[in-house]
Amino acid sequence: MRMFYFLIILITILYITVLELSKNILISWVIVVLACAAMIFYRTYCKKKYAAKRGSVFGNIHGYGPENRRRDMKFRAFASLFLYIGVLAATYFLTQPPVKRVPVVDNRKPDVTDVISIDQGQLTGVYNEDHTVKAYGGIPYAKAPVGDLRFREPQAPDKWEGVKACNHFGPMAMQPQNPVIYDSLARILGYHDYQIKFGDEYVEEVSEDCLYLNIFAPAKETDDLLPVVIYYHGGSLTTGTPSYSEYRGEDLAKKGVIYVNCAYRLGVFGYYAADDLKQESPNKTTGNYGLLDQIAVLKWVNANIKAFGGDPKRITIAGESAGASSVNALCVSPLTKGLFQYAIAESSSVLPKKPFHTFRSYEDALKAGEAVRSEFRVETSDELRNIPAKELVTTITKHSSMTIDGYAIKEQPYKTYVKGNNNEKALLNGFNVKEADAFMLDEEATRDNYVELLAEDMGDYAEEMAEVVPYDLPARDQHIIIDKLGEAKGALNVAYSAMWFTYPHYVWNNYLVEQGVPAYEYYFTKTNNVLSNYHAGELPYAYGNLWRHRGLYDESDYELSEIMQSYWVNFVYNGDPNGNYRQVDTPGDGIYSTEIDGKALPTWEMRSKSNDKLLQLDTTIQMVEDPNLEIYEVIDKYMDEK
């Protein structure tokens, strides 16, 4: 029977592991304990029963001997084992982890801040663990876009009575949901990081009621108003939420910045377009509801940020990936003129004459909207408003691009830059080495299909692109998965990294150089044990969140993070990243300083007509040539025909 108990223990351990990865540990733990107790009771009962039979005269008369007892016990043991497995399986499928909102700080019982008054009412936030930062989560910046407000411009938020406790992030915007266990495994495999801790046994709430923002501010008040960063998360305009650890703003707040992030409508909820919606809109707009949400955040911050110690005259908008594309769109929108000063854009823009992603023509937007109505067998957008959000979200990934609606975006973005009507007064921007690699894991690239794959985005210029980026390009340091996807995979990743992510920055910087607007471009190449220098790999460095994944970074990573944070904060203060290291706070003293510690940062040269170098962010900081200039020449030819 040792094997029986061994199997019970093994199955229980495996099951508990699955429960933990599924964030369903608490309820199911109770059931596991009860099931184990029942099994032990049953086994004890069986042993006593057989012992009684063995000593019984009737047991001997009826031939219930040792062989029968062993066979019977083995049968009952396996029956008990399968019953146990059945109970566990039923528990897994019939119980679900609780759905909650994510706390805005990590400490379990944070202290509450003093009451703040804004236009909507009074509110309180919470302190982080060492009392260096005050955090305010889940502040509504617009009415819930539900019911009749679906597919409409964001409406002014309602006022509330009493004091609102703003201690949690708002719900995640509607988006496709992977099984929780999938996300846990992705964190282990992708980040090599998974922490078992009490208090996180839940899944984040997802809702169409998502228009909330969050503010991180230094705990100590000063006489001077502080500059503000508004961060827009990435995720292809399809996924993402401000509660992700990479988007937290505690560390920038410690360096004297007011940091704001927000949720906005995604996918079909944020970018569905239809002519009937345009007709009913007071602004004759459709297709840019997510972008209009972002503009509503900008307006809210201008109106209310003084109450949190922020300066509405010194606002920087920032974002990565689709968030950077959004930042670029905000730079061309006539609705944002005068609402911000500087822009930070990491790994994307919409400035090519024919953007490769996150932007489409108005005609294409209407066609996509028609496809949505056809998919759900409705004729009008009003009928589409009656489709439950959980059903409508299934079409979300196909409809996640901004468009020229004539209101938020008047024309093709590059034309606004040609006219000099863009809004940013300075730009900090750049890209990583392996931008496209993680997006193309399902694409095998060989010598035979290489040009064909390039032609999907480069058309008739695919052959010329293949000459500049030959299929047998010496492989850079690839991920083990990428190595197994064909001899041309490395070259394909280089080409698409340039097309999708780095060329748009090249174009943006060139426009600003012509205008005489300060532009600073970086090239992130640092390797590590997590996202390395793939897409989004720079985020935890720039915003000071390496410590959230302890043990995965070494001293050189933390040193680079301090440098990058100093560049970013200097830029937010002055529109120029150069200067000295920003002072690092001593945890627990409850103070911060806008002073700098006197040590000069490596010089980051501004882009100019005579200088197109990038600042390489790595263990060694230095100005380098853009490695993709030859590729850009081919893309320029392709774009000139569009």
Domain check: are 156 and 238 in the same one?
yes
Sign of CA dihedral 382, 388, 389, 390: negative
- The verdict on 374 and 440 lying in the same domain is no
Query: In terms of domains, do 65 and 141 share one?
Result: no
Tell me if 102 is assigned to some domain.
no
Buried b (16+ CB within 10 A) or exposed e, 568-596: bbbbbbebbbbbebbbbbeeeeeebbbeb
Dist. CA 168–CA 214, nearest whole Å: 9
Examine residue 315 and state whether it is found in any structural domain, yes or no.
Answer: yes
Give the pLDDT confidence score for residue 196 in this predicted structure. Answer: 55
Count of residues in the chain? 642
Q: Within this chain, do residues 53 and 135 fall inside the same structural domain, yes or no?
A: no
The dihedral sign for the CA sequence 451, 456, 460, 461: negative
Are 7 and 73 in a shared domain? yes
Q: Is residue 183 part of a domain?
A: no
**Together in a domain, 45 and 128:** no
Q: Which residues are catalytic?
A: 321
Residue among 289, 316, 300, 353 at smallest CA distance from 136: 300
Low-confidence residues of the chain, pLDDT below 70?
1, 4, 20, 22-32, 34, 38-40, 42-43, 45-70, 72-73, 76, 94, 179-201, 396-399, 474-485, 530-531, 583-598, 642
CA quadruple 345, 256, 115, 199: dihedral positive or negative?
A: positive
Structure tokens at 296: 């509503």
CA 582/CA 284 separation, integer angstroms: 46
**Domain check: are 483 and 629 in the same one?**
yes
Please indicate, yes or no, whether residues 63 and 151 belong to a single structural domain of this protein.
Answer: no
CATH number reported for the structural domain that contains residue 634 in this entry: 3.40.50.1820
| 131, 588 contact by CB (below 8 A) | yes
Same domain, 513 and 602: yes
Do 280 and 138 have their domain in common?
yes
DSSP assignment string, 459-502? GGGHHHHHHHS-TTPPP-S--HHHHTS-TTHHHHHHHHHIIIII
Which domain-ending residue is among 403, 424, 445? 424
What is the Cα–Cα distance from 441 to 429, expressed in whole angstroms?
26
Exposed e or buried b for every residue in 204-217, given b needs 16+ CB within 10 A?
A: bbbbbbbbbbbbbb
Q: List the domain range (segments joined by +) for residue 47.
A: 2-97
| Model confidence, pTM | 0.88
Q: For the packed helices 2-21 and 180-191, what is the interaxial angle rounded to 10 degrees?
A: 90
As for how many domains the chain has, the answer is 3
Whether 283 maps to a domain, the answer reads yes
Number of continuous H segments (helices) and E segments (strands) in the chain = 22, 22
Residues 154 and 284 in one domain: yes
Residues 524, 556, single domain; the answer is yes
Contact indicator for 53, 64 with CB cutoff of 8 Å: yes
Angle between helices 25-54 and 2-21 (to 10 degrees): 170
Segment 67-88, tens digit of pLDDT:
666 676 677 677 777 777 777 7
The secondary structure of the chain in percent helix, strand, coil, rounded to multiples of 5, reads 45, 15, 40
